Each structure stands twice: as C-alpha cells, then as structure tokens.
Chain A
Amino acid sequence: MKNILSIARYTLIENIRNKIFYVLVFFGVIIIAASLLLVALGGEQQRRVLLDFGLAAIEFFALVTVCFAAVNLALEEMQSKTIYLVLTRPVSRAHYLIGRYAGLLAAVYSGMFLMALLHAGLLVFNGFEFTLRYPLALLLSAEKITIIGSVALFFSLFSSSAISSISFTVFFWVLGHFSEEIRYLGEKVTYVLPKIVAKIAYYVIPNLQYFNLRDFWDVPGITGSWIPAAIIYGILYSVACMTLSLWLFSNKEF
C-alpha cells in the first residue's frame, strides 16, 4: 500500500507540474468563462445553457486530460526508460501500475474540481438553485472518466503508438454513448447473427449513458435508482480493464 501511495503521489506531482496540464486547465477555465457569451444568447434559458455548457466542458476537459496522461503514463515512460529505475526496485508491477493510475486519476479529479468550483460560482451568480443533482452529475462524470482512463491505459500498453491509443480511447468513448442505439438496432434487425452481435456489444461495451445524469436533468420523475448499481459497475469495469492492463504489463519486457 505504501508503494502504491508513493507512486500515486509522484504521478500526481508529475502531472500537475506538467505544462500541458496547466494548458488544459487554463483551456477548461476559458471554456467555462466563454460559456457566459453563449448564456447571453440563450434568451430565457440562460441558466440551462450555463449549466449544460459548464458540465460538458468539465467532462470534455477531463476526457482530453485522461487520454493524454494515460498514454504518457505507460507509453512515454517505457520509451523514455524512466521506468527502469522504478521496476528495478522491490516494487511489484501491480503496485506500480495501480499507483500510476491512482495518481493520474487524482490529477484529473483535481482539475475537474477546480473547474467545478468556478462553474458553481458562475451558477450561483446567475441565480441557479442547487440540488443534490449537481454534485451527483459531477460524480458520475468522474466515474465515466475513471472507466475511460483505465481503457486508455490498456490501449497505451497494447499499442506502441500514442496516436492510435488516443484514437482507440476516443472511439471507445463514442461507442459507450452509442450503446443504447446499438441495442435499439439489435432489436429492430431481423437476422439472428447481427442481433446476437448487437446484444453482446451492448453488454460488453461499457454503457456510458448510465453515468450521463447531466443529460437527464429535466427528465420527469427521474429517481436515479440505477445510480448506486452504476457506480459499482463503473468500479468493476475499471478494475477489469486494469486487470487486463496488468496482465499485459506483467508480460512486458524492457
């Protein structure tokens, strides 16, 4: 546990001191500030526009950060050989990978938190009435990012190219949001094989709609009864992807 925390700590420091991280946070802050321009165009729906734009910007920022950071975490470290002086210490590869992943998530969550503070401030200034839904929407966004982070880590270990790792991760993000459409198509199609393929795809690909509470804001009568199960599912799926990453990593040679 001490090893995991030590590695997580230095990963967090490394990410936070990385200029790219500052650029991304700055970009995120600019996006939220720029949303005020859109708000002015929103007519009587200003608060809605501000809410939606801010939540989407926070999630988008986190997605971009986690993609780049996860790819760098494994790929760049192996290519730059900084990994040698860690793996030649009495540290198991599992501890190393988990610690790196935890540090990465901590860095991304920090950025999300900063942006959320700014966003919440703007909402308060515009007379928005906060409910539990707001932090819950952010929590589920963070859960989504956790899953995508573990997927990104797997792709970075699987592929030797940063571009392809990022591309695959983004593609997975799209697939995850398209799950419901895949299920619908599977129900509509008449042939058996595509039906089975669609059903398997629907269950195997993580359904990121489970974590999209920010899109369900005005849905009447929504209770969020699926949320606790979705949170557990998110953790299980992330652990599964990390297990896969660990399997790859434990077989890697340097």
Chain B
Amino acid sequence: MNYRLSWLYVVFAFSLAILFNVFVVSKRFSNPFPPAGVSPITEYAVFDLVGIVSGTRRLFSDIAWIQLLQYYGRADKPVSLEEEIETSWDVVHFFSGLRLWKDKHEDEEHCDEHGCSHAGHHHIEDNKDPAEYKRLLDHCRRIVALDPFFNYVYLYGAGALAWNLERTDEAIELLKHGISELDTYHANFGNDVNEPYWRINLYLSAILYRKSGEFLKMTGVLEKAVRLPECPALVKSILANIYQKDGKPAQSLKLWIDIYESGDTSYHSHAAEKIAELKNIMGL
C-alpha cells in the first residue's frame, strides 16, 4: 500500500499557515472598509450584503451608482438651457448688479415693465417638484456605504442636490459624511487623504458660499474645483454658464469642450449645442 500520511503532517501544515496569519499577515493588513451596516435603502439591504460577503463591494457600488443615475435620470435628461440659466441666474444677478428676486409679485411687475425673457420668470416651483428625487441623498449614502472611497459620488451627489434641486442642506450633509469617512480612515490608518479630502472640502465651501449668497467666493471655489480631476460635468456646466453670462465666452467654450470630451454621453448633445453657440458668439 502507498504510504499513509500521518495526521500530524496535517496539524503541522495548518498550524504553520495559521501562525503565519496571526503573527505576520494580520499585523500588516488592515481592512480599509468599515464594517457592513444596514443599507440606507432597505429594499437593497440584502442585495448590498451579497456584495459585501462576495468580496465585490466596488462592483456593487458601481451597480448602485448606475441605479442612482437611473433614478435621478441625469443620464437621460440633460439639463435644458432654461434650467441651466435659471440655476445660475441668481449669480448672474449679482455680477450684473441686478437685485435678487425676493417675491413673485415684484418679479412679474418688473418683467411686465422691462419685457424679460420667459427664463427670467422661472421659479424653483416650475423647475422641479421639491418632493421629486427625495431619495437622492439615500442613494448616494448607499453607494458610499458600499465603497466609502467612491469620491465622485460625494461630488456628483452634492452638485445635484445643491445646484439642481436646491437642497443645499442635504448636499452639505453628504459632503460632511464624506469628510467624516476620510477623517476616520486617516485616524485609523494614517494614510494620506489630502487629495480627496481637499476636493470634498472645496465643494463644501462652494455650496456654503452659495447658501450664504457669497457668489464671488463660490465662483472662485468652483474655478478651483473644475481644475481637479473627477469634477462632475454638472459642476463644470454651472461654471460655464456663469462665465457666459459674465461675458467670458472663451472660458465658457473651454469648459464646454472639456465637458464634451469627458465621456459623459448625457451631456454630449447639449455640450455640442453650447459649443456651436459660443463659437458663433466669438465669430469662430
């Protein structure tokens, strides 16, 4: 009969592997992810748990990201010209010296006198139902619960909440959550988190300035933001409109070209329109 292996070899082999784990590998490895928690969207709790237990957090966070885009519809519904103008209109007022609207009655009287464009009458109530996309923040939180280092979600989500939906408090909550996650990670691991940390702080500053009406500072911060990698096209489009209204078509054109080439196909057609429009203005 062939040699029968003694069980002692088995014990020895496993002891070696386990001791190596205890004294070497486990000392060098630290799991950067926080422990699994309950998903902010309970309908996906089990689904997200599958991602965690199968070691595919990033993949499932990508699926959650796609679900966010489907929910929010940004991939299908590019911001219209009127919507973009309306979003940056209060900033334009500041730069042009016009007063900010305070109530509807005053606006109507003003426009009856001066013949304002329809866009000028566009109020938040006409743009989007405040109750719409009420779970946008939850979707963003869900993604970053799976992958806290999916920094783009903080920027995109905050941008959408602050500038498109005018829910600056939720945007601030999201960004503060991102900062808190990075703080925790840095405290536990000591790794350098400056780059994402600074970027999130930048967006937070921009939104805080917007909320407090300090549009000059907000624009300055946005200018820094768009120079960084992973700046959402949404934020670039905000600044591009600001530049256009501020009489800086060349800078606006540069941003729209950047948006067109960014890879986000949802902005392609609109960016192409804007590029054509700006080239026309500049006589190119």
Q: A contacts B directly in the complex (CB < 8 Å)?
A: yes
- By a beta-carbon cutoff of 8 Å, the part of chain A in contact with chain B is 38, 40-49, 52-53, 56, 87, 92-94, 127, 173-174, 176-178, 180-181, 184, 203-204, 206-210, 212, 214-222, 225-226, 229-230, 232-233, 236-237, 239-240, 243-244, 246-247, 250-251
- B233→A203 contact, CB < 8 A: no
Give the shortest distance, in Å, between A41 (CB) and chain B (any CB).
5
Segment of B55-63, B120-128, B205-213, B243-251 in the binding face: B55-63
User: Which residues of A are found within 8 Å of B56, using beta-carbon distances?
Assistant: 52, 56, 215
The CA-CA distance from A215 to B29 in the complex, in Å, is: 14
Q: Which residue of B lies closest to A180 (CB)?
A: B31
Cβ contacts A to B, 9 pairs, < 8 Å: A44-B233, A49-B62, A93-B2, A174-B54, A206-B21, A216-B32, A220-B182, A229-B25, A232-B20
Q: Count how many chain B residues have C-beta atoms less than 8 Å from C-beta atoms of the other chain.
A: 63
User: Which residues of B are found within 8 Å of A94, using beta-carbon distances?
Assistant: 3, 5
B24 on the A face (CB < 8 A): yes
User: Which residues of B are found within 8 Å of A225, using beta-carbon distances?
Assistant: 28
Give the shortest distance, in Å, between A93 (CB) and chain B (any CB).
5
User: Which residues of B are found within 8 Å of A180, using beta-carbon distances?
Assistant: 31, 33, 35
Q: Which residue of A lies closest to B7 (CB)?
A: A247
- By a beta-carbon cutoff of 8 Å, the part of chain B in contact with chain A is 2-7, 9-10, 13-14, 16-18, 20-22, 24-26, 28-29, 31-33, 35-36, 52-59, 62-63, 65-66, 69-70, 74-75, 147, 149-152, 156, 182, 185, 189, 191-193, 195-196, 232-233, 262-266
Q: Which residue of B lies closest to A144 (CB)?
A: B55
For A220, give its contact among B7, B24, B191 (CB under 8 Å): B191
Give the shortest distance, in Å, between B128 (CB) and chain A (any CB).
19
Q: Which residue of B lies closest to A253 (CB)?
A: B1
The CA-CA distance from A212 to B182 in the complex, in Å, is: 20
Given known contacts A52-B59, A214-B58, A244-B14, is B36 in contact with A181 (CB within 8 Å)?
A: yes
User: Which residues of B are found within 8 Å of A44, using beta-carbon distances?
Assistant: 152, 156, 232-233, 262-264
- B74→A233 contact, CB < 8 A: no
Q: Which residue of A lies closest to B12 (CB)?
A: A243
The CA-CA distance from A38 to B64 in the complex, in Å, is: 12
What total of A-B pairs shows CB separation below 8 Å?
A: 167
- B24→A229 contact, CB < 8 A: yes
- A243→B62 contact, CB < 8 A: no
Give the shortest distance, in Å, between B123 (CB) and chain A (any CB).
28
- A218→B21 contact, CB < 8 A: no
User: Which residues of A are found within 8 Å of B33, using beta-carbon distances?
Assistant: 180, 215
Per CB-CB distance, the 4 closest pairs between chain A and chain B, nearest first, are: A221-B191, A240-B13, A226-B28, A177-B55
The CA-CA distance from A213 to B230 in the complex, in Å, is: 22
Given known contacts A215-B56, A225-B28, is B18 in contact with A203 (CB within 8 Å)?
A: yes
User: Which residues of B are found within 8 Å of A233, using beta-carbon distances?
Assistant: 17, 20-21, 24-25
Given known contacts A215-B55, A229-B25, A246-B5, is B10 in contact with A41 (CB within 8 Å)?
A: no
- A45→B185 contact, CB < 8 A: no
Q: Which residue of A lies closest to B34 (CB)?
A: A184
User: Which residues of B are found within 8 Å of A177, using beta-carbon distances?
Assistant: 52-55
For B29, give its contact among A40, A43, A226 (CB under 8 Å): A226
